[in-house]
Amino acid sequence: MEQKSIYIIEQSIKLFAKKGFSSTSVQEIASACGISKGAFYLHFKSKDALLLDIFNYYYQRIQTRIDEIQKLDADDRTKFKKQLQVTFEELANHREFIIMQIREQAIPFNENIEQFLTQMRVNSYLFYKSHLQNIYQHQVDETVWEVSLILQGMFKGYMDLIIIEGADLDLELLADAMLRRTDYIVEGFQRSGDQPVITGGTMRQLLPPMFYGEEKEQLLLNLEELANDGNQEMKDTVHVLTEEMKRDQPRSAILKGMMANLEGEPLFKETIESIKKYYQL
């Protein structure tokens, strides 16, 4: 996104937080940015389109920080804790804008925003699930979906206190505490032998197929097609990678090792990045 569009977004966020989405006109946004109304429409087709780009802007800010943490030389638990912390930070830093949305219910109902919100919701499910699998391994083979949903509920509860009630919490300590609470939940399932209400089968029925199953199938097809033009070593690597991806509980170490062997191949770059995002590696 070009710098001018980012500037318009940032000024719009301030106006929306102060006046509300519905009460803020395109002319007011243009005036705050020192541009004409016509110039605004060179960057955004409408105010609704601007709102969608604001959501994307927020998401990319958070995702950039999460990706930076994922590259750290640290264990999975430490990285996940830091990622929870920066998510809290980014949301808390834009408290007024979020309150405006809650108060005004400002999200217009259209196909693009609905698709974006669905994608973000599914990304969140997969984000929590993959990190819990990396941290707890076989301890959560049967309970990973339910534990991840409980953890997301905890996050929302604390977030409501921060955003709505204005609670001033130590976010680093909060992220650490959330993972300790998760330890208790995982241990409780193991100790009691209690069966989860939410399973992989439940989620496959609930989540859009294009996000849950078809995405992985497409990645597998991409890998196999790319391998057709490669040498035998490349084909062997892709074979090991695809077989691991077909497992119910793929092993992170195997996925990372095979992808590392392919990262030097330009043709594989886009697909490898997609696999990393899918598995949150």
Q: How far apart are CA 154 and CA 199, in angstroms?
A: 19
pTM confidence score = 0.72
Residue 257 in contact with residue 107, Cβ under 8 Å?
A: no
Q: Please state the rounded mean pLDDT for residues 185-209.
A: 87
pLDDT 10s digits, 74-87: 999 999 999 999 99
pLDDT 10s digits, 154-175: 999 999 999 989 999 999 999 9
